[in-house]
Amino acid sequence: MNYIKSYFINLSKFKLIVTALLFISLFIFSSNIFGQDLQYAKQVLSTLCSKDFHGRGYTNKGDIIASKFIATELKKNKVKKVSSSYFQNFEMPICYISDLGLLKIDSSTLKCGNDFIIYPGSFSCSGKYSLIRIDKQNIKDLYTKKLTESFLVIDTCLTNDKSIKDIINEIRHKNPMNAKGIITLVAKNTVQIEDSEPRSWVQMEITCNSFPENAKQIEISFKSNYIEKYKTRNVVAVIPGKSDSIIAFSAHYDHLGEFGNVYFPGANDNASGVTMLLDLCKTFSKEKPRYTMVFLFFTGEEIGLVGSQYFVANPLIKLNKIKFLLNLDLVGSGEDGITVVNGSVFKDEFEKLNKLNKEKNYLPIIKTRGAADNSDHAPFYRSKIKCFFIYAQGKTGPYHNSDDTPENCSLAKYEALTNLIIDFVKSY
């Protein structure tokens, strides 16, 4: 009898243990329903930065390839179209460079992307030209000389000299001396840009280490191209909520495209933001959210917030229904925290975000900034819509450089930031 009694006691204990384990497993599972998927994030980031996407720019339709991929992911995760399509089509002016030949400074051949870049709006150029280095002593005399067959060279030390900084910036960006080209020497990494308007001279950057001392001549060859009405598109999706009030999320998917045989992956800027938005889509599509969730993937940010401006001027949703917009750009790190643009403008929302962060110990620090027209939140802010622009600090590849790769993005606080955003939205 004691044996049987002991058997049933042990069986009861076993059942309690199994029940407890099942409960714990269920709790862990339910707590992860609103969690992120880091493996998925890494796959998306890698895909967006692959060579097949041509730097998500306007050579080889990189932007169109990227937008198709985003739409496919939205469909896969059962996120709905706002209208008959995921796409909002429009046109915009673009510039790009083709037929790039060798570039030589004296007898030294430079590598495109690493040693030098040419701004896309530069005027087509082919030939050999003299080099004139600007300094404090000759700067005034250069205004009286004919420089149509010369490239002016500006050292980085001059751009930091307060006494002539304004003059140097005018020479760099307006070329009042009518030189054939303007070269800015940069200490470390070149920074590529996008252009929407052509200029009548060549504007370029060369790293100091790649520029021979006392160089006399540049040999250069390339063709610039201008398309006044390039066809591109935003990507827009929605998860209907229990309320028609909207929480909106935005990130730009475009980047700098290609330059010669080099392409710009744009991992931190801004494949990271697109990845996080797609991850948030997966999360909020699992059950009907409190608010309607709208996801905005913009093109044309690098040219000057073109896609977001177009959307605000031609909205596919009721803008007055947006309770809050979160714009994510440069979020591929985070070990040094994040900065919230408009944090000092919308103080209540910032305090809520900061409080949640301290409670969960997600990020080491959240810094606040005032208003700034530096990303796709800006057109919404100008339309009196509450919004934050969140960017991260930490280990990434160099900005607007071909080394902005997935390998150089730490993703150190990707999970933490994603969960902080989820908590913020659920508590709003």
Gyration radius of the chain over CA positions: 26
pLDDT digits (tens, 9 = 90+) for 363-399: 999 999 999 999 999 999 999 999 999 999 999 999 9
What is the b/e burial string over 158-168, where b = at least 16 CB atoms within 10 angstroms of the residue's CB?
beeeeeeeebb
Same domain (yes/no): 281, 410: yes
Residue 108 belongs to some domain of the structure: yes
Same domain (yes/no): 253, 234: yes
For 294, phi then psi, to 5°, come to -115, 130
Same domain (yes/no): 352, 241: yes
* Domain limit, last residue, from 181, 209, 226: 226
Residue 22 belongs to some domain of the structure: no
Same domain (yes/no): 142, 258: no
Q: Tokens 């030390």 appear where?
A: 157
Residue by residue, DSSP assigns 246-273 as: EEEEEEE-----EETTEE---IIIIIHH
Q: Please enumerate in sequence order all residues whose Cβ is within 8 A of that of 150, keeping only pairs 6 or more positions apart, or say none.
A: 129, 130, 131, 132, 179, 180
Cα–Cα distance measured from residue 137 to residue 159, given in angstroms and rounded to the nearest whole number: 15
Whole-model pTM?
0.90
Same domain (yes/no): 265, 411: yes
Task: Give Cα separations from 275 to 267, 307, 330 (angstroms).
Answer: 10, 18, 11
Whose CA is closest to 405, among 37, 46, 41, 43? 46
Whose CA is closest to 90, among 329, 308, 382, 375? 308
Residue 296 belongs to some domain of the structure: yes
Residue 5 belongs to some domain of the structure: no
Are 127 and 219 within 8 A, CB to CB? yes
Q: Is 209 buried (19+), middle (13-18) or exposed (0-12) by CB count in 10 A?
A: exposed
Residue 14 belongs to some domain of the structure: no
Average pLDDT over residues 146-156: 95
Are 127 and 152 within 8 A, CB to CB? no
Residue 255 belongs to some domain of the structure: yes
DSSP state of 155: -
Same domain (yes/no): 132, 204: yes
The token duo for 393 is: 């600090």
Same domain (yes/no): 308, 393: yes
* Domain limit, last residue, from 180, 198, 226: 226
The token duo for 8 is: 């049933």
Instruction: Give the dihedral of Cα atoms 135, 137, 139, 143; nearest 10 deg.
Output: -150
Per the prediction, the chain carries an average pLDDT of 92
Number of domains making up the chain: 2
183: pLDDT strictly greater than 50: yes
> Which range marks the domain in which residue 199 is found?
97-226
Same domain (yes/no): 271, 404: yes
Between 347 and 15, name the one with better pLDDT: 347
pLDDT digits (tens, 9 = 90+) for 228-258: 999 999 999 999 999 999 999 999 999 999 9
Residue 233 belongs to some domain of the structure: yes
Q: Is the peptide bond before 178 cis (omega within 30 degrees of 0)?
A: no
Pairing of strands 338-341, 80-81: unpaired
Same domain (yes/no): 114, 172: yes
pLDDT given for residue 288 in this prediction? 95
Same domain (yes/no): 268, 396: yes
Same domain (yes/no): 200, 157: yes
Same domain (yes/no): 315, 361: yes
* Domain limit, last residue, from 161, 195, 226: 226
pLDDT digits (tens, 9 = 90+) for 332-358: 999 999 999 999 999 999 999 999 999
pLDDT given for residue 159 in this prediction? 75
Residue 253 belongs to some domain of the structure: yes
Cα–Cα distance measured from residue 408 to residue 297, given in angstroms and rounded to the nearest whole number: 23
Report the CATH number at residue 316: 3.40.630.10
Report the CATH number at residue 200: 3.50.30.30
33: pLDDT strictly greater than 60: no
Cα–Cα distance measured from residue 168 to residue 174, given in angstroms and rounded to the nearest whole number: 10
